[in-house]
Amino acid sequence: MSNWNIHDIFKSDEDLQKEVSCLKNLADIFKKNYENNLKNLTPDEYFDALKKYENISQRLSDVMTYAFLKFATNTDESGFYAKYQEEYTTISEKILFFELEFNLLEEKQQNTFITHAKGYEYILNLTKAQKPHQLNDSEEKIMLKKSLLGSSAFSRLFDEHFSRLSFEFDDKKLSEEEVLSLLHDKNRKVRKKAAISLTEGLRPHKELLTYILNMIKKDLKIECEIRDYQTPEQPRHEHNQITQKSVDALINASENEFSIVSQYYELKAKILGLDKLYDYDRYAPLDGKEENYDFESSKKIVLKAFGEFSKEFENIAKTAFENGWIDVYPKNKKRSGAFSHPATSNSHPFVLLNHTDKRRDLFTLAHELGHAIHQKLSYKVGYLASDTPLTTAETASVFAEMLVFDSIKNSLNDEEKISLLASKLEDIFATLFRQINFTTFERRIHDYKGEVPLEMINQIWLEENKKMFGNSVEMGDHYELWWSYIPHFIHSPFYCYAYGYGQLLVLALYGLYKSKKCENFVDIYTKFLSLGGSKSPKELISMFGFDIEDEKFWLLGLEEIKKLFDEFKGLINGR
């Protein structure tokens, strides 16, 4: 089965519409019973109301999931999607008071309610912590209505625009996905041509893309002013349930090890026999031969790797393959990239891929299935508490990639091992060092006074990249525009460090797993995932005896990277 089955959520569009009508009704009743009434409730009555609120929210989420997934495989459905976004907004507005009114209660009553709401303590405390950033009811309603025209409108413009872009390559017109894929080609001429094709495809749209980025920046700035956040990063850190201090520590520790990146690329230039490594050589395969992993073999590899770690993981993945959780191949008008949508316990997670049989597609499969396992396991704590902050959201996905990495590594000869280690290191560069680079780029964009001109964005982009590459990679003139296709800057500012956070966290945990120093690692780890977002990242990680606020913690992960690099160097020198 290579298409997902969204009818596991609703049998048809008619059923979806019926559910919307039903939810409108339920939301009206909820509003009538509880609005302006929270302070008169007993703790038991409050808990009961909370459960009802959870039920409506979850079903509302099913509505949005269905509409979004339909849009994701066919961007022509943007009208359909927009219609349900509006329905969602209308119904959300009715029940919005519930969280806001909670923060109008006296602290003593809040605390009594929190103590009685078993399993919801942590998330209610999070709500309580939002009090300083909350507006009054009618202001929140205006914010919600206007939000459709703010960053979400620009995100949609970005997505729809990109899905229609094509890139000229020889006589063909390629999608963004296809042209990016050619940057991994063994033939240098093809890579160079792909790099130029990407830039030439982006160039006519550079003013629009500059404008969109600036509007995202402006929207965030306004939001911060209205909600009293001190820096544009602060909402993200609070959302991620971590402190600025721990993010700074992550960034500093990683920047201090940028030399791993430049040393690696210097070595790579030598191996490839190139005097100078250009930006389009970064992803050149080392063994010179293209490895293919079609979807069937990828599936087998992933199931084996998961099974050796945990039967439960293997079983969830099997279900995903067999029961229409996954949309596998690129299609016309389908969204690019990959994701796993958590949906809700009323159905199951949904995984979108654009599998093109490359080795990195195998790791993407492992990555997204890791997410799906995490999402499925955390259904146990209920809809409201299942949502994980970005900081721990990438734990299972990156861990799953490590499992597949080790599983295939052991079966390879030295030459193949070199190629695999190289791609693992490059993967770590992409998910850690590059994301740190993205974050410092974003910091400078958002710190800039007023709208940032195109030339300035280009310059900041090159300067930040230079910090990481040093003299090891020559960035051609075309490279200056390559910030413009990165969706995270548009969809969710300051998202990217969470990848780095997750990557380093996992490397530390994976090191612990392999060291066999933690006897019941698999049990603790499964528990960790099952707890979803019902506990703070700090508490979750303390289950393994680590402290995320201690700088030394990040060094543990960086040590694991050095070990991989040493293994790689050893194999090269032993040739």
397 vs 534, beta carbon nearer Zn ion: 397
CB 348 within 8 A of CB 325: yes
- Tell me how far apart the alpha carbons of residues 216 and 67 are, in angstroms, rounded to a whole number: 24
- CA distances to 352, 393, 428 from 502, in Å: 21, 7, 11
102 vs 429, beta carbon nearer Zn ion: 429
**Segment contacting Zn ion (CB under 5 A): 30-38, 391-399, 458-466, 528-536?**
391-399
Give φ, ψ of 174 to 5 degrees. Answer: -105, 155
The 3-state DSSP class for residue 342 equals: coil
46 vs 325, beta carbon nearer Zn ion: 325
CB 239 within 8 A of CB 391: no
- Tell me how far apart the alpha carbons of residues 80 and 533 are, in angstroms, rounded to a whole number: 31
Work out how close the CB of 365 gets to Zn ion at its nearest, in angstroms, rounded to a whole number.
12
Work out how close the CB of 429 gets to Zn ion at its nearest, in angstroms, rounded to a whole number.
16
19 vs 401, beta carbon nearer Zn ion: 401
Work out how close the CB of 397 gets to Zn ion at its nearest, in angstroms, rounded to a whole number.
4
Residue with tokens 């009323």: 346
Work out how close the CB of 436 gets to Zn ion at its nearest, in angstroms, rounded to a whole number.
16
60 vs 372, beta carbon nearer Zn ion: 372
Return the structure tokens found at 569: 């160097």
CB 518 within 8 A of CB 509: no
- Tell me how far apart the alpha carbons of residues 492 and 495 are, in angstroms, rounded to a whole number: 6
What are the strands of the beta sheet with 339-341, ordered from one edge?
Answer: 326-327, 350-352, 339-341
Binding string, residues 225-254; x marks residues near Zn ion by CB under 5 A: ------------------------------
Q: Which of residues 491-520 bind Zn ion (CB under 5 A)?
A: none
Helices (H), 516-550: 521-530, 537-542
Q: Count of residues binding Zn ion (CB under 5 A)? A: 1
Q: Are strands 339-341 and 350-352 parallel, antiparallel or unpaired?
A: antiparallel
Work out how close the CB of 427 gets to Zn ion at its nearest, in angstroms, rounded to a whole number.
12
Q: Would you count residue 392 as binding Zn ion (CB under 5 A)?
A: no
The 3-state DSSP class for residue 467 equals: helix
**Segment contacting Zn ion (CB under 5 A): 207-215, 291-299, 395-403, 559-567?**
395-403
Work out how close the CB of 450 gets to Zn ion at its nearest, in angstroms, rounded to a whole number.
34
**Segment contacting Zn ion (CB under 5 A): 84-92, 216-224, 230-238, 390-398?**
390-398
CB 168 within 8 A of CB 201: yes
358 vs 374, beta carbon nearer Zn ion: 374
**Segment contacting Zn ion (CB under 5 A): 43-51, 274-282, 294-302, 393-401?**
393-401
CB 336 within 8 A of CB 178: no
Residue with tokens 């991620």: 240
Work out how close the CB of 574 gets to Zn ion at its nearest, in angstroms, rounded to a whole number.
35
Work out how close the CB of 367 gets to Zn ion at its nearest, in angstroms, rounded to a whole number.
6
- Tell me how far apart the alpha carbons of residues 276 and 279 are, in angstroms, rounded to a whole number: 10
CB 481 within 8 A of CB 203: yes
**Segment contacting Zn ion (CB under 5 A): 251-259, 313-321, 389-397, 419-427?**
389-397
Give φ, ψ of 539 to 5 degrees. Answer: -65, -45
Return the structure tokens found at 201: 């495809």
Give Cβ neighbours of residue 130 (< 8 Å, ≥ 6 apart).
103, 238
23 vs 390, beta carbon nearer Zn ion: 390
Work out how close the CB of 373 gets to Zn ion at its nearest, in angstroms, rounded to a whole number.
12
Work out how close the CB of 351 gets to Zn ion at its nearest, in angstroms, rounded to a whole number.
11
- Tell me how far apart the alpha carbons of residues 86 and 71 are, in angstroms, rounded to a whole number: 15
Binding string, residues 342-381; x marks residues near Zn ion by CB under 5 A: ----------------------------------------
163 vs 397, beta carbon nearer Zn ion: 397
386 vs 397, beta carbon nearer Zn ion: 397
Q: Would you count residue 484 as binding Zn ion (CB under 5 A)?
A: no
CB 176 within 8 A of CB 485: yes
> How far from each other are the two terminal CA atoms of the chain, in whole angstroms?
43
151 vs 431, beta carbon nearer Zn ion: 431
Work out how close the CB of 340 gets to Zn ion at its nearest, in angstroms, rounded to a whole number.
7
**Segment contacting Zn ion (CB under 5 A): 51-59, 205-213, 354-362, 392-400?**
392-400
Work out how close the CB of 401 gets to Zn ion at its nearest, in angstroms, rounded to a whole number.
10
* DSSP code, position 358: -
CB-closest chain residue to Zn ion: 397
Return the structure tokens found at 244: 């600025």
CB 69 within 8 A of CB 350: yes
Work out how close the CB of 396 gets to Zn ion at its nearest, in angstroms, rounded to a whole number.
9
**Segment contacting Zn ion (CB under 5 A): 18-26, 57-65, 82-90, 396-404?**
396-404
- Tell me how far apart the alpha carbons of residues 291 and 202 are, in angstroms, rounded to a whole number: 29
75 vs 397, beta carbon nearer Zn ion: 397
341 vs 446, beta carbon nearer Zn ion: 341
65 vs 397, beta carbon nearer Zn ion: 397
Return the structure tokens found at 288: 């010179």
242 vs 398, beta carbon nearer Zn ion: 398
- Tell me how far apart the alpha carbons of residues 56 and 139 are, in angstroms, rounded to a whole number: 23
Q: Would you count residue 397 as binding Zn ion (CB under 5 A)?
A: yes
Work out how close the CB of 303 gets to Zn ion at its nearest, in angstroms, rounded to a whole number.
20
The 3-state DSSP class for residue 173 equals: strand
Q: Which of residues 425-454 bind Zn ion (CB under 5 A)?
A: none
**Residues forming the site for Zn ion (CB under 5 A):** 397
